[in-house]
Amino acid sequence: MGWSNWSGLEHAAPSRVVTPTTVEEVVAEVVAARTGGRTVKAAGTGHSFTAIASPGRGVHLLPGGMSGILAVDRDALTVTARAGMQLKAFNAALEHLGLSLHNMGDIAEQTLAGAVSTGTHGTGGHAAGLAAQMAGFTLVSGTGEVLRCSAEENAEVFDLARVGLGALGVLVDVTFRVEPLFALEAREQPMSWTQFRASFEDMTASAHHVDAYWFPHTDRLLTKRNSRLASLAEIEPLPRARAWFEDDFLQNTAFGAVTAAANLAPGLIPRMNRINASLLSARTYSDIAHRVFTTERRVVFREMEYAVPRADGLEVLAECRRVIDASRERISFPVELRVAPADDVPLSTAYGRDSFYLAFHTHKAAEHRAYFALVEPILKAAGGRPHWGKVHTRGADDLAPLYPRFADFLALRDRLDPDRVFANDYLRRVLGD
């Protein structure tokens, strides 16, 4: 049974595919792989664009047997779930419990293990990244040891392995800090480039969570400001028919067809983007938080995302626009812009600094390499940190200076996985051998 990721960029032919249902079964697979000189990877839904979860020719652990809620502590406001549970299922379970994560990204297909291990994040709030919302986890190390980790137990492992890249062990359960279920009001508003730059600081100061989407080859952006409502009783979701038309049909069916057709006539893309941007309109709606944070993405794409220092973000964006406008590249997908507060997770892209995220996308059938190569040097020169699960060309030598505790992570890797049971080609590139 072959493996490939969602974007179709990465493929592997594992020697064995297993669906463990218990921690003991995970331990047995890890010990057997170590004894036999093989590798093992717990690859989830494959939503990373890199090969970070690729099982290569080793053993592939499927996540489906390790799902579900394990414990709820309403006094401590924590929830523990098995690590193979998909984020969308976790969100639904939390809603049923009257609870919510503080923040999340805009896609919920990932497993919990995959989302935290790659540094998945949202925008704004007091904690943007999922890993920064963790209170604990259980990890099976490369020697088959089962480690329960929190700020009080195996604290060094907890500290460093919250974004662990799958390099330190197999996560079998995760515990998140949660809060009472809340609702968000989303205000979507088209803006000109000048208006966006002038109002950006005010928007991020007045709303809890801010996203923006710039349409290449145009002067237009779409902004989205999510603000908390005082009560769930204030919820006013979009009418079902309108939500289907705008969020399902237009953003998936129609957008997918138009961008696929644009691959055949890239010279038409600037005009297409100008037309699409001119059709944008303002709207306001509200709903349970996870329904506002996340959207269903059925159009398959490729993506590169970098986090640069927050204070430099708008200038980095302007430089990216300058080189795109001066190039012959024709880009049909918007550039997504988000911000995040600094966190204390050593391999988080927001570690120790407020961050501005720039995410570049192409349709799956479009050539992405030239486009990404055009803007990546700008992001690198700005001290940018690439998202671990999205396309980039960086290696261990130039990633190490970006992370003050990179050496500590490598030392923990030597301790927890001395035989590199969890290694693959991607991890060898970004962490070294």
Rounded CA separation 29/41 (Å)? 10
One-letter amino acid of 28: A
Dump pLDDT digits (tens) for 334-391.
999 999 999 999 999 999 999 999 999 999 999 999 999 999 999 999 999 999 999 9
pLDDT (tens digit per residue) in 124-174: 999 999 999 999 999 999 999 999 999 999 999 999 999 999 999 999 999
Q: Are residues 160 and 187 in the same domain?
A: no
Report residue 216 as tokens.
């290449």
Query: Residue 173's domain is classified under what CATH number?
Result: 3.30.465.10
How large is the average pLDDT for residues 55-77?
97
**Is residue 405 domain-resident?**
no
What's the pLDDT at 380? 98
> Are residues 152 and 210 located together in one domain of the fold?
no
Q: Of 163, 180, 197, at which residue does a domain stop?
A: 180
How many structural domains is the chain composed of?
2
| One domain for residues 340 and 200 | yes
- Is residue 54 domain-resident? no
Tell whether the model's pLDDT for residue 432 goes beyond 90: yes
Q: Is 155 exposed, middle or buried (0-12, 13-18, 19+ CB in 10 A)?
A: exposed
Same domain for 304 and 195, yes or no, is yes
For the stretch 239-245, contacts whose Cβ atoms lie closer than 8 Å and that sit 24 or more positions apart, written own/partner, are none
Domain shared by 354 and 231, yes or no? yes
pTM: 0.96
Render pLDDT for 173-222 as a digit per residue (tens, 0 to 9). 999 999 999 999 999 999 999 999 999 999 999 999 999 999 999 999 99
26-46 pLDDT, tens digit per residue, is 999 999 999 999 999 999 999
Say whether both 260 and 381 belong to one domain.
yes
Q: What is the CATH number of the domain that holds 265?
A: 3.30.70.2520
> Tens digit of pLDDT for each residue in 391-409?
999 999 999 999 999 999 9
Mark whether 164 and 200 lie in a shared domain. no
Q: What was the pLDDT predicted at 250?
A: 85
Note the pLDDT of residue 220: 97
Residue 340 CA, distance from chain mean position: 13
Last residue of a domain, one of 149, 180, 211: 180
Q: Do residue 196 and residue 318 come from a single domain?
A: yes
**Whether residue 314 is found in the same domain as residue 232:** yes
Tokens 């047997």 belong to which residue? 65
Task: Name the residue with higher pLDDT: 73 or 297.
Answer: 73
Q: Please give the span between the terminal C-alpha atoms of the chain, in angstroms, as a whole number.
A: 28
Is 45 among the domain residues?
A: no
Do 143 and 187 sit in the same domain of this protein?
no
- What is the 3-state secondary structure of the chain? CCEECCCCCCEECCCEEECCCCHHHHHHHHHHHHHHCCCEECCCCCCCCCCCCCCCCCEEECCCCCCCEEEEECCCCEEEEECCCEHHHHHHHHHHHCEECCCCCCCCCCEHHHHHHCCCECCCCCCCECHHHEEEEEEECCCCCEEEEECCCCHHHHHHHCCCCCCCCEEEEEEEECEECCEEEEEEEEEEHHHHHHHHHHHHHHCCEEEEEECCCCCEEEEEEEEECCCHHHCCCCCHHHHHHHHHHHHHHHHHHHHHHHCCCHHHHHHHHHHHHHCCCCEEEEEEHHHHHCCCCCCCEEEEEEEEEHHHHHHHHHHHHHHHHHCCCCCCCCEEEEEECCECCCCCCCECCCEEEEEEEEECCCCCHHHHHHHHHHHHHCCCEECCCCCCCCCHHHHHHHCCCHHHHHHHHHHHCCCCCCCCHHHHHHHCC
pLDDT given for residue 276 in this prediction: 87
The arithmetic mean of pLDDT across residues 409-424, rounded, is 98
Range of the domain at 148: 69-180
pLDDT of 1 above 80: no
Predicted local distance difference test score (pLDDT) of residue 216 = 97
Neighbours of 70 (CB within 10 A): 14
- Residue 43 counted as domain residue: no
Confidence (pLDDT) at 279:
84
pLDDT in tens, 267-323: 999 999 998 888 889 999 999 999 999 998 899 999 999 999 999 999 999 999 999
Same domain as 195, residue 171: no
Evaluate whether residue 60 is within a structural domain. Answer: no
Residue 135 lies in a domain: yes
* Same domain flag for 166 and 187: no
Inside any domain, residue 47: no
Q: Is residue 345 part of a domain?
A: yes
Last residue of a domain, one of 138, 158, 180: 180
